[in-house]
Each structure stands twice: as structure tokens, then as C-alpha cells.
Amino acid sequence: MLLLTLLDTLGTFAFAVSGALKAVRRGMDLFGLTVLAVVTAIGGGTIRDVMLGRQPFWFHDSSYILLSLAAALIVFGLYRVVTRGETLLLWFDAVGLGAFTVIGATKAMDAGLGAVGTIVLATLTGIGGGIIRDLLAGDVPVVLRKEVYASACIIGAALFWYLARWHVSQAISMPVAMLVVIVIRLLSLHYHVGLPRAPVPAEPPQEP
């Protein structure tokens, strides 16, 4: 599907840029920046493929890694320009989240998974790269701390699964589910929507 390929490309680029930006802010050198860009871009899909018992998608298609390297070099060379366009990046990132979630859901259903398995694997595909990025940079993963992020993946994947059960063609269900993920993500960013917390004061980060 041409649209999916385009959005997949945009998303890979945006995820790679988010990894590279975090590396710059942590004072990492050019190599650390490159590694963080690549793992952020390919991490989620790699987790998905390994769990499905397949070889990672980048084993036989180097375009994803080359695209991530290009994103890393752009951030390295044009840091000030890139950060000025950070709103645009959040849009890219939402597009990547939607594309990765739907691709993950498609592959999970192809492997015969049920509703729960499909939703979990699609969500892991969407958020996996960002989790690895944050762990490597020494942060608690942002998806665990705030914002409607993985929730958007869960809703989109669930919708995709039900549309498929009702025999809706993938030509319709894929863009629809992807759009739902993207719109939920962008709306939550715009309105600063969050999920409730349990009514307990947070402890300091390290246990006694």
C-alpha cells in the first residue's frame, strides 16, 4: 500500500529524529546519537518480529537503517533548525505511531493472534522504540509517565481488529485505524489530556 509505505517512512524518520534529539540533550557523541536514532526507529518493529518468530524486518531491507542514519546526521548538523520545528516533529511522531501500530496489528493478525494478543503486539510495535530510547538514555520511559500515548495505540489496534472481524477490507481499515491513532494522539497533545492517577503521593525515585 503506497499510503502506508509513505507514512511508515515519515514515522521512521520522526522516531529516528526523536532519538537523535534526546542524545544531543544528554551530551552524547556522534556515535551515541546514531545508535539512539537507529534503535528508536527500528526497536518496536524488531520486538514485534522477534516475538513472532521472524527475523527483524531490517535484516533484508537496509532502507530503514539508512533513513535513520540520515535523520541522525541531519540532527547532528542542523540541531538549531530541527529544534525550531519541534511541533512538526510531534506531528511526524504521531504519524509514525499510527503507521507502526497498524503494521504491527496487521502482522499479528496474519500470524493468527486473537484480539488481546493483537492489541498488545500492535501497542508494543508502536511504543517499543521509544521505551528502548528512554531506557538507554537513563530515563523512565515517557509512555509510562504521562500523556495519552500508548492508549492511542490500544484504541487504534482494537478498532482495526474489530473492523477485520466484520470483514472490512484492509484498504479501508488500515487508513481508518491509523487515522484514529493519529487524531487521538494529536488531540491529547492539543488539550493536554492525561489519564487519572491513583490518589497516593509519589515516592522519591529510589527505594530506601
Minimal distance in Å, beta carbon 185 to its own copies?
13
- Cα separation, 141 vs 195, whole angstroms: 16
Closer of 3 and 140 to its own copies (Cβ): 140
Closer of 102 and 148 to its own copies (Cβ): 148
- Cα separation, 69 vs 63, whole angstroms: 10
Closer of 75 and 95 to its own copies (Cβ): 75
Minimal distance in Å, beta carbon 166 to its own copies?
20
What cell numbers appear for 141 in the block? 520511559
- Cα separation, 204 vs 80, whole angstroms: 34
Q: Under 8 Å CB-to-CB from 20, ≥6 apart: which residues?
A: 33, 34, 36, 37, 71, 72, 75, 76
Q: Under 8 Å CB-to-CB from 31, ≥6 apart: which residues?
A: none
Chain residues in the site for its own copies (CB under 8 A): 23-33, 35-36, 38, 46, 50-56, 58-60, 62, 65-66, 75-76, 79, 111-117, 120-121, 131, 135-146, 148-151, 194-203, 205-207
Closer of 3 and 139 to its own copies (Cβ): 139
E-assigned strand segments in 132-181: none
Minimal distance in Å, beta carbon 25 to its own copies?
5
- Give residue for cell 544531543: 24
Minimal distance in Å, beta carbon 99 to its own copies?
21
E-assigned strand segments in 76-158: none
Closer of 2 and 77 to its own copies (Cβ): 77
Minimal distance in Å, beta carbon 109 to its own copies?
12
